Amino acid sequence: MNAFHLEAPGAHLRYHDLPGDDPTLVFLHGLGSASSSAFPRVARDRHLLRHRALLVDLLGFGYSDRPPAFDYAMESHAESIVSLLRALGLDRTVLIGHSMGGSVAILVAAAAPKLVGCLIAAEANLDPGPGFVSGIITSVDERTFADTGHAQFVRRVLGAGYADYAGTAAMADPTALHRSAVSLIADRCPTYRERLTALPLPRTYLFGEHTLPDPDVDRLRKSGIDVRVVPAAGHDMMADNPDGFAAAVAAAIDAARLGPRSAG
């Protein structure tokens, strides 16, 4: 595992860097998850094996540091990813974000579009307001969540049968989890949806088949966004059908017509 030091929070962002060809795939995980857990099977799937892949754990999650003074806002998470990509000398990457990670990916692309050749958002938060997981986390204040709510949340997830997610949620820093959830669902102007629509680059939005029907399918397509469905999968599509998820990502990359960077 690699570590990248971020000067402002004085913390290390950790990531797996799997070898391969351009374009480089950059995976960003959802709320309470970790890319080091969620994406290895996808990144080394037969459909994506040829690509270099970065599996990044956002600050406060997975193996990355948990700086107590960090605000864990979506914009701050995005800034850390921009800093990492610039430090690695990358451009025209394929940003692949699931749920909260998709929202962070939208902010990365909006802030530094030259670093992104293609954006793939898998059931990303597009509008303000809580979802199921963020709603549970933000139903109490930060102190209460850190003291008792985090452990209760992990037990609830485990009791619902999501043992893999319960493991990464238990690893997540409670303050990071709560602050990230609060920021994720906050009002923004422009919204994630408006930023996604305005991006001057190929964009794909992935749905799990079990999430459908969803009126956003037609709405996103009318906005010029490529919409694809991962079969036999719900919201946690990387775990439900990793091969199908990888196939959808590969198809989106092909549709974007991204090739290796030229020598010049």
Domain with 241, as residue range(s), is: 2-129+189-256
Segments of the chain with pLDDT less than 50: 260-264
Nearest C-alpha neighbor of 140 from the set 181, 94, 90, 99: 181
Q: Please report whether residue 124 resides in a domain.
A: yes
Q: Please report whether residue 70 resides in a domain.
A: yes
Q: What is the pTM of this model?
A: 0.95
Peptide bond preceding 215 in cis form (omega within 30 of 0): no
Amino acid residing at 152: Q
CATH number of the domain encompassing residue 86:
3.40.50.1820
Q: Please report whether residue 112 resides in a domain.
A: yes
Give the whole-angstrom CA distance, residue 71 versus residue 176.
Answer: 8
Nearest C-alpha neighbor of 18 from the set 50, 47, 46: 50
Give the whole-angstrom CA distance, residue 130 versus residue 140.
Answer: 13
For residue 74, give both structure tokens.
Answer: 């979506």
Q: Please report whether residue 81 resides in a domain.
A: yes
- Residue 100's CB is within 10 A of a number of other CB atoms, namely 28
Peptide bond preceding 190 in cis form (omega within 30 of 0): yes
Q: Please report whether residue 146 resides in a domain.
A: no
Q: Please report whether residue 169 resides in a domain.
A: no
Which pLDDT score, from 0 to 100, does residue 258 have?
66
Number of domain units in the chain: 1
Quick: pLDDT tens for 174-225: 999 999 999 999 999 999 999 999 999 999 999 999 999 999 999 999 999 9
Q: Please report whether residue 144 resides in a domain.
A: no
| Mean pLDDT over each residue of the chain, to the nearest integer | 95
Nearest C-alpha neighbor of 32 from the set 116, 156, 205, 210: 156
Q: Please report whether residue 65 resides in a domain.
A: yes
Quick: pLDDT tens for 79-101: 999 999 999 999 999 999 999 99
